[in-house]
Amino acid sequence: MVSHFLSCLEPGTSQTRASHLVDIPWLVLRCGFNRYGVLPDMGPIPSLSDFARYNRSRLPTWYNSHLSLREYEQCTDFHKGCTFLISVWYTRYEVGKRLAAFWMLSIMANGFAGILAYGLTKMNGIQGIAGWRCARNSRRTVPRQTWLILCYRDYDYRRHH
C-alpha cells in the first residue's frame, strides 16, 4: 500500500493534494460550531475566496491555482456541518435515511457535473460571460436556497409528527 501511495505522488498534482490540507484545520476549528458555525460556508468565505481570485494579479501564483479552487469548494461544501446538525436532531435509526436524502443531492450533483461541463462548452461567450462563470453562479445560489427550503420542510414535518 505504501509503495502504491508513494507512486502516486506526482509533482503535477501536488497542489491538489496540498489543497486538501485546508480541510483539516478547518474541520478541527469548527468543533465548537453551532448552527452559526455553518453559516460562513454559505456565503462570506466563498465570496472572499472568489474576490481574492478576482484580484489574482496581487497574489502568488500558487494561490490562484488548485489551492484557491479547493478552498472555495471546501468552504462551499457545507454539508459537513449539516451532517452534524442532522445527527443532533434525529434519533439513531432515523439518521441514516435523512443523511442519505441529504447526500443524494451531493452524489447527483457529481453526476450532473459532466452534463454541466458539456453544457458550459456550449454557453461560453453568451452575454459576454465565460462558461465557467455561469457554473459558479449556479453552484453558489441553488444549493444554498435549497438548503433553506429544506429547513422549512423540516419544520412542517416536526410540527405534525
Partner 1 sequence: MIIEGIISCGICLTGYVLLINFPDKADGFLKPDEKAFVIERINADRGDAETDEITRKKILAHLKDWKLYCWSFLILSAVVPGFSYNFYTPLILRQGMGYTVTESQLLTAPPFICAALITFLSSLISDKFKIRGPVLVFHHTLTIVGMFVTAYVKNPAARYFGVFLGLGMVQYIPMVTLAWQANNIKSTSKRAVASATALIGSGIGGMISGGAFKTSESPTYEVRYLHDLDHFAPITIVLTVL
Residues 126-145 that bind partner 1 (CB under 8 A): 133, 136-137, 140-141, 144-145
Question: What DSSP state is assigned to residue 90?
Answer: S
Among 64, 65, 83, 135, binds partner 1 (CB under 8 A): 83
- 157 part of the interface to partner 1, by CB under 8 A: no
Q: Distance (Å, rounded) from C-alpha 115 to C-alpha 108?
A: 11
Q: Which of residues 86-115 bind partner 1 (CB under 8 A)?
A: 87-97, 99-101, 103-104, 107-108, 110-115
- 17 part of the interface to partner 1, by CB under 8 A: yes
**Minimum distance, C-beta of residue 30 to partner 1, in the bound complex (Å):** 6
Q: Which of residues 28-47 bind partner 1 (CB under 8 A)?
A: 28, 30-36, 38-39, 42-44, 46-47
Among 60, 151, 156, 157, binds partner 1 (CB under 8 A): 151
Q: How wide is the angle at C-alpha 118 spanned by C-alphas 116 and 121, nearest 5°?
A: 105
Q: Is 125 left (phi over 0), alpha (psi -120 to 50) or beta?
A: left
- Residue 46: is it exposed, middle or buried by C-beta count within 10 angstroms (0-12/13-18/19+)? buried
Q: Distance (Å, rounded) from C-alpha 145 to C-alpha 105?
A: 13
- 69 part of the interface to partner 1, by CB under 8 A: no
